[in-house]
Chains A and B, each alone.
Chain A
Amino acid sequence: MNITDLTVHELQEKLKNKELTVTEITEAYCNKIEEKEKDIDSFVTTYLEEAKSKAKEIQEKIENGEIAGEYAGIPIGIKDNICVKGTKTTCSSKMLENFVAPYSATVVEKLGNENIITLGKMNMDEFAMGTSTENSAFKITKNPWDLTRVPGGSSGGSAAAVAANLVPWALGSDTGGSIRQPASLCGIVGLKPTYGLVSRYGLVAYASSLDQIGTLTKDVRDAAKLLTIIAGKDEKDSTSEDNGNINYENCLKNDVKGLKIGVPKEFFGEGLDKEVKDRLYEAMDIYRKLGAEVEEISVDIEKYVLATYYIIADAEASSNLGRFDGIRYGHRTSEYSNIDEIFKKSRSEGFGPEVKRRIIFGTYVLSSGYYDAYYKKAQKLRTYISNEFNKAFEKYDIILMPTSPTTAFKIGEKSGDPMQLYLADIDTVSVNVAGLPGISIPCGVDSKGLPVGMQLIGNKFQEETILNAAYTFEQEYKFREKYKPSI
């Protein structure tokens, strides 16, 4: 048995049957990280010694009958924009290279309550701005399916580590596709919950009205489990919602008979790779065979979504990142003679080029003379996009579309051209703009052997519907039994 090949629910089964101990599981992951991390570069920080000693402590408590939690001793990786008290939270930025979080995010507290063990903090595009993880100030994470290719982004470290079995599951954040797109490129399951379902307290803000913490897992059952742990109302995040303590695992029925699936034709046109399109049409046939009704529909937003997203996201980022002034935390320049120089030099030295680009564009669309033409218009388009989704959900239970227009691209292929990288977000941003839940699951590979992702979108707080639809496909298609990354 190769421990690190197992899903979390398989690990739980082995723990329950006493075929494995917590210490054996943590040891196996630490060994795997020591062996393979040099090829993948998925972590910013690892806590291997701390994890081993925590595992020993938990194992002893289990043996003494002091704890019996179903997740006790399961390891996890956490994206490095989610605060873990007393440890570095860098956002893969020089700005926060030495920042030690003075408190933990609510999701981290929830993992702690379950005695889940953190193996480390995962690499990402700086401040979650990017689609390839090439914007990290520290390292470029590689795709385990082909080490010359990107893992997607911005949660590229989380996705690559799950795909390479360096962690059994991971947390990420998704502002415009940053969980779903890397999950698609790495052949794993990525779930972006409805805005408000998971507390954002302790998540370093990029665009507050779009950001959402979610899960990167080997399969859909693990996604349902991790969502069950992290979801729910939090008094520290006023936008969080009470979900009635749903156990999302209960919705996995392996049955889609009568499910109405709408397929928006606008997202299957020019720009979509033919092989990606072919796999998606094959997936639709599988859904039909399983008893779902699949119909082509029109959701006429494709030409506006990217501009709407980038205007809103960058406007919010320009405001949110105003807090990095070199005074209370973060990088401070060594040469200054007045307060204005501290601000300007600290920010200019601490932020990377993409972050500066987005702050400047966000400042522009909020500035006098351009506010109405760009920001206000984008806010109106946000209404338009939500209305289009609402119309679709009057007739259909879920929407099926690509997660990414292509499979993983080569490292460096698009890094000199920001616009090309922005276009990689075309299929994912509308979900954030409308605050909906979306999941990406693998639905095959292309002729290069690279995974293709299928995105299922639900109405607000209908995670159970998309999780069941994803699970039913997964049980039929059995992607993990057919395909494995090269590493």
Chain B
Amino acid sequence: MSVSKKELLHIANLASLELKEEEIQDYLENFQEIIDFSNVINNAPVDDLDITIAAHESKNRFRKDEVKEFEDVQAMLANGQDIEQNMFKLPKVVQ
């Protein structure tokens, strides 16, 4: 299966990434190579097997839903930009 430029840009857009025009050809070639390589799994004898989603047995580990205050909110916020009253200022999203 061959990947088109249009499809690559669609996937990049889904991932919130922009590719520069001069980068596209390289990404396209690498992407095709990785997909071709991954197609080896098409013939794997796994139809009767269940999926594994974790390294060990899949079970939920429940804990009490208790609020725990993070001790250093200012240190957390210090990595953001444009902060006012402990909130992040952003461009308007609702017209």
Do B63 and A360 touch (CB < 8 A)? no
With beta carbons under 8 angstroms apart, the residue of A209, A336, A381 that contacts B41 is: A381
Do A360 and B12 touch (CB < 8 A)? yes
B67 contacts the other chain (Cβ, under 8 Å)?
no
A360 touching B51 in the complex, CB below 8 Å, given contacts A328-B79, A342-B90, A381-B44: no
Interface centre among A311, A327, A387 (most CB of B within 10 A): A327
Do B51 and A382 touch (CB < 8 A)? yes
Ordered by A's residue number, 17 sampled pairs between the chains whose C-beta atoms are within 8 Å are: A98-B79, A102-B79, A238-B63, A239-B56, A340-B16, A342-B90, A347-B15, A348-B18, A351-B17, A362-B15, A363-B15, A376-B51, A380-B44, A380-B46, A384-B44, A387-B49, A419-B34
For residue B15, which residue of chain A has the nearest CB?
A363
A303 contacts the other chain (Cβ, under 8 Å)?
yes
Do B31 and A102 touch (CB < 8 A)? no
Interface size on B, residues (CB 8 A): 48
Do A308 and B17 touch (CB < 8 A)? no
Interface size on A, residues (CB 8 A): 72
Interface centre among A98, A103, A235, A362 (most CB of B within 10 A): A103
Interface centre among B15, B35, B45 (most CB of A within 10 A): B15
* Residues of chain A in range 374-425 having any CB-CB distance to chain B below 8 Å: 374, 376-384, 386-387, 418-419, 422
For residue B12, which residue of chain A has the nearest CB?
A360
**Chain A 288-317 per-residue mask, 1 if CB under 8 angstroms from chain B, else 0:** 000000000000000110111011000000
Do B34 and A304 touch (CB < 8 A)? no
For residue B33, which residue of chain A has the nearest CB?
A419
Q: Which residues of B contact A383 (CB under 8 A)?
A: 46, 49-52
Other than A238-B61, A361-B35, A384-B49, give 8 A-B pairs with Cβ distance below 8 A.
A307-B38, A310-B34, A329-B80, A332-B81, A360-B17, A377-B46, A382-B51, A419-B34
Do A367 and B51 touch (CB < 8 A)? no
A380 touching B79 in the complex, CB below 8 Å, given contacts A348-B17, A418-B34, A419-B33: no
**Chain B 51-95 per-residue mask, 1 if CB under 8 angstroms from chain A, else 0:** 111111000010100000010100110111100000010110100
**Chain A 334-349 per-residue mask, 1 if CB under 8 angstroms from chain B, else 0:** 0011111011110110
Do B38 and A310 touch (CB < 8 A)? yes
Do B79 and A100 touch (CB < 8 A)? yes
Do B37 and A306 touch (CB < 8 A)? yes
For residue A338, which residue of chain B has the nearest CB?
B91
Do B38 and A374 touch (CB < 8 A)? yes
* Residues of chain B in range 1-59 having any CB-CB distance to chain A below 8 Å: 8, 11-12, 14-19, 23, 27, 30-31, 33-35, 37-42, 44-47, 49-56
Do A361 and B54 touch (CB < 8 A)? no
A236 to B76, CA, bound (A): 17
For residue A349, which residue of chain B has the nearest CB?
B18
With beta carbons under 8 angstroms apart, the residue of A195, A235, A311, A318 that contacts B15 is: A318
A460 contacts the other chain (Cβ, under 8 Å)?
yes
**Chain A 17-59 per-residue mask, 1 if CB under 8 angstroms from chain B, else 0:** 0000000000000000000000000000000000000000000
Interface centre among B14, B16, B27 (most CB of A within 10 A): B16
Residues of A within 8 A of B (CB): 85-86, 98-100, 102-103, 195-196, 209-210, 235, 238-239, 241, 303-304, 306-308, 310-311, 318, 322, 325, 327-330, 332, 336-340, 342-345, 347-348, 351, 353, 356-357, 359-365, 367, 373-374, 376-384, 386-387, 418-419, 422, 434-435, 460
Do A330 and B79 touch (CB < 8 A)? yes
Do A344 and B18 touch (CB < 8 A)? yes
Q: How many A-B residue pairs have CB under 8 A?
A: 163
Do B55 and A196 touch (CB < 8 A)? yes
A434 touching B55 in the complex, CB below 8 Å, given contacts A103-B72, A380-B49: yes
A290 to B30, CA, bound (A): 47
Do B40 and A86 touch (CB < 8 A)? no
Do B15 and A377 touch (CB < 8 A)? no
Do B46 and A327 touch (CB < 8 A)? no
Do A435 and B17 touch (CB < 8 A)? no
A336 to B92, CA, bound (A): 12
For residue B90, which residue of chain A has the nearest CB?
A339
Q: Which residues of B contact A239 (CB under 8 A)?
A: 54-56, 61
Q: Which residues of A contact B46 (CB under 8 A)?
A: 377, 380-381, 383-384
A9 to B72, CA, bound (A): 37
A251 to B44, CA, bound (A): 39
